[in-house]
Amino acid sequence: MSTQEKTQQNKKNNTRLLLRFLKGSKLLFVLSIACSALVTFVDMVNPQIIRAAIDNAIGGQPSQFPAWVNGLVERAGGFAYLGQHLYLMALAIAALALVRACAQYGTTMLNTRASEVFVKNMRDTLFAHISRLPFAWHMKNHTGDIIQRCTTDVDRIRTFVAEQLTSVLRITILMAMSISFMFSMNPKMAAIAIAPIPVILAYSVFFRKEMEEGFMKCDEQEAKVSAAVQENLTGVRVVRAFAAEAREKERFEAVNEKYTGLWVHMAHIMGRFFSIQDILCGLQILLVTCFGAVFAVRGAMTPGEYVAFISYNGMLSFPIRRLGRMLSEMSKAGVSLERLAYIMDSEEEQDRPGAGEADMHGDIVFDHVDFSYENGPKILEDVDFTVPAGSTLGILDGTGSGKSTLMLLLDKLYEIPEGSGRITIGGTDVRDIRADYLRKNIAIVLQEPFLFSRSIQDNIGIAREGITREQVEEAARDACLAASIENFSEGYETFVGERGVTLSGGQKQRTAIARALTQDAPVMIFDDSLSAVDSVTDAKIRAALEERFGTATIILISHRITTLSKADQVVVLEDGRITEKGTPDELKSAGGIYQKIYEIQLGVADAARQGKEAVHD
């Protein structure tokens, strides 16, 4: 497909996307445009009334109006009668002004309502689509950039549709009727009036491409500014802890300075565009005014026609001047629509055809699994082990050896490529299990727990619909969190800051554990989620898990040997491969990594215990 064909296809796709966003607001926009057209019609009629008053009612000249207009005037008493009772023509203008005011009110009200419905539909559609996109997509796209697309770009499209696109019909009618009335009054003057228009249009089209490229660069840099702000706000504790405020300030200023420079460059482009446009429009008005005065002095047009002609030319110059703003907003909206199209064109997470439910209480089998992230090295290689139903598996590995990747694959957050092994639960390949069903039956506590900016109760109960306060408190007790919550002044209603910033590391982990416990899932995964709690609390939580979920299959990922000591089986990973497998008692004397870590941690524990005894003595 050629570049031109791709451009045409993108335009078609963007148009379809815009129509999709307009669902529910199209009728309101149409009614708004109809009211706007009525406003335009009234604006067209007023100069003709003034013309008739000057030339026919006061000047007594023969009427040049169509027969149906002359018929209406005759019913009102004729031009001579109207000349003696000019207040009637003033009343007609006042009546039209009232009609115009009502139509303008309808335009504003309907357009405002339509734009709000439109932007709400955009936001709802984007949010729903983003929430269904694969986990891998979110890992490839920066949060700040996504937020910028869903806020700034959405607002730009709303502004264009509500303020510019709905004006197109009115401007078209305005130009068509203005030119029509001009030609009906004086064809030569009309030709002079429209002569500069092709030049202005060609000049506007010439600038459009440059504006589009400039707006695209500004949008992309704005996303980087948003990302820098988002990262620093969410990582404020790290920045403060390392006294890195000055360094982060310099990094932000560098990104912001480039963003400012791009907009200054755009200001130069827009300044040239609007300045030249104003000059051309001013020349057009000057030509009409001067030639019209000459024609009126020579008798080639009446004074009334000259006044009406000036009025129509003013109406003609308005849409021409508005054209520049429309092209500017169109360029912005086009760029923003393409950025939203990137999101909407991203394929949603989908199950295999025929995917259904499975026995989640069965054995979990990793069958010769290989995996690597996109364009990256192999993370897992020939991983093969079985977790019997109802047992506890411990996983120990070095940093970056793939233990967390195993759990992401089990939860179908990443898909295993064909020919790279498989994972089964109860004999069913996880790729043949519906994602929503699978995840409802696997409770997972990630290595870095995420808490929402809500109350502690909301954070614990988010995984289970219709959960009661008693169930939340029970989960908190099993996670050894209840005592900490009771010390907060507002208890379970205590507001948790963004990402749980108001809680300690151990409290965040225990809140995430309590959240997982509310699911009562047959499979539970704890991905190094006890690292921030002390050994005593660790033991209490594991005891509570054994008592509460005696039949559940539990997977414990940890660097702490005491956490893995009660597991039925331990798997040791090294560089993505299984190097050891067995019970904790077998591995602590097998001469491998497990034994080394066991001896190091046991030695530290013994040294600490001996130190305490010496102090006591």
Write down which residue in 291, 315, 345 finishes a domain.
345
Residues 341 and 375 grouped into a single domain: no
Please check whether residue 502 is in contact with residue 440, taking contact to mean a CB–CB distance below 8 angstroms. no
Please check whether residue 348 is in contact with residue 132, taking contact to mean a CB–CB distance below 8 angstroms. yes
- pLDDT (0 to 100) of residue 403: 79
Residues 175 and 220 grouped into a single domain: yes
CA distance linking residue 482 with residue 469, whole number of Å: 13
| Other beta carbons within 10 Å of 206 | 10
Residues 434 and 331 grouped into a single domain: no
CA distance linking residue 537 with residue 519, whole number of Å: 21
Instruction: State the CATH number of the domain containing residue 451.
Output: 3.40.50.300
CA distance linking residue 167 with residue 37, whole number of Å: 9
Contacts 24+ apart (CB under 8 A), 11-17: 13/341, 13/345, 14/334, 14/337, 14/338, 14/341, 17/337, 17/340, 17/341, 17/344
Is 166 exposed, middle or buried, given 0-12, 13-18 or 19+ CB atoms closer than 10 A? buried
Cα–chain-centroid distance for residue 504? 31
Please check whether residue 63 is in contact with residue 73, taking contact to mean a CB–CB distance below 8 angstroms. yes
Q: What is the CA radius of gyration of the chain?
A: 37
CA distance linking residue 14 with residue 232, whole number of Å: 34
**pLDDT band for position 616 (50/70/90)?**
very low
In a domain, 350, yes or no: no
Residues 545 and 606 grouped into a single domain: yes
In a domain, 9, yes or no: no
Residues 234 and 287 grouped into a single domain: yes
Residues 334 and 382 grouped into a single domain: no
**pLDDT band for position 502 (50/70/90)?**
low
Please check whether residue 429 is in contact with residue 422, taking contact to mean a CB–CB distance below 8 angstroms. yes
Q: Domain of 230?
A: 15-345
Phi, psi of 401, rounded to the nearest 5 degrees: -90, 0
| Other beta carbons within 10 Å of 220 | 15
In a domain, 352, yes or no: no
- Mean confidence (pLDDT) of the chain: 81
Please check whether residue 426 is in contact with residue 359, taking contact to mean a CB–CB distance below 8 angstroms. yes
Instruction: State the CATH number of the domain containing residue 135.
Output: 1.20.1560.10
Please check whether residue 444 is in contact with residue 555, taking contact to mean a CB–CB distance below 8 angstroms. no
Phi, psi of 501, rounded to the nearest 5 degrees: -65, -20
> What would the two tokens of residue 64 be?
């040049």
DSSP-assigned beta bridge partners for residue 378: 372
CA distance linking residue 560 with residue 562, whole number of Å: 6
Residues 389 and 469 grouped into a single domain: yes
pLDDT at 498 over 90: no
In a domain, 356, yes or no: no
Q: Comparing 88 with 320, which gets the higher pLDDT?
A: 88
CA distance linking residue 308 with residue 232, whole number of Å: 61
pLDDT at 614 over 50: no
Total number of domains in the chain = 2
Write down which residue in 345, 379, 395 finishes a domain.
345
In a domain, 321, yes or no: yes
CA distance linking residue 118 with residue 28, whole number of Å: 10
CA distance linking residue 275 with residue 516, whole number of Å: 63
Write down which residue in 315, 345, 375 finishes a domain.
345
pLDDT at 264 over 70: yes
Give, in order, the Cα–Cα distances in Å from 124 to each of 111, 141, 454: 20, 20, 21
CA distance linking residue 268 with residue 257, whole number of Å: 17
DSSP single-letter state for residue 433 = B
Q: What is the pLDDT of residues 80-123, one digit of tens each?
A: 777 777 888 888 889 989 999 999 999 889 988 999 999 999 99
In a domain, 359, yes or no: no
Q: Provide the angle, in degrees to the nearest 10, between the axes of the packed helices 245-297 and 187-194.
A: 160
Is 132 exposed, middle or buried, given 0-12, 13-18 or 19+ CB atoms closer than 10 A? middle
Q: What is the pLDDT of residues 552-564, one digit of tens each?
A: 888 888 888 888 8
> What would the two tokens of residue 404 be?
């967390």
- pLDDT (0 to 100) of residue 141: 84
**pLDDT band for position 7 (50/70/90)?**
low
CA distance linking residue 122 with residue 118, whole number of Å: 6
Residues 340 and 479 grouped into a single domain: no
Q: What is the pLDDT of residues 176-209, one digit of tens each?
A: 777 887 887 788 888 888 887 787 777 777 777 7
- pLDDT (0 to 100) of residue 428: 92
CA distance linking residue 454 with residue 374, whole number of Å: 35
CA distance linking residue 247 with residue 28, whole number of Å: 51
Exposure on the CB side of residue 352, measured as CA atoms within 13 A? 15
Please check whether residue 111 is in contact with residue 159, taking contact to mean a CB–CB distance below 8 angstroms. no
Give, in order, the Cα–Cα distances in Å from 33 to each of 136, 228, 322: 44, 41, 17
In a domain, 3, yes or no: no
pTM over 0.85: no
Please check whether residue 326 is in contact with residue 169, taking contact to mean a CB–CB distance below 8 angstroms. no
Worst-scoring range by mean pLDDT, 61-65, 320-324, 470-474, 585-589?
320-324
Residues 201 and 68 grouped into a single domain: yes
Residues 279 and 379 grouped into a single domain: no
Please check whether residue 328 is in contact with residue 270, taking contact to mean a CB–CB distance below 8 angstroms. yes
pLDDT at 588 over 70: yes
Residues 338 and 374 grouped into a single domain: no
Amino acid letter at 204?
A: S
Residues 341 and 376 grouped into a single domain: no
Task: Return left, alpha or beta for 299; rule: phi > 0 is left, psi -120 to 50 is alpha, else beta.
Answer: left
In a domain, 216, yes or no: yes
CA distance linking residue 256 with residue 421, whole number of Å: 47
C-alpha angle with apex 515: 125 to 537, nearest 5 degrees? 150
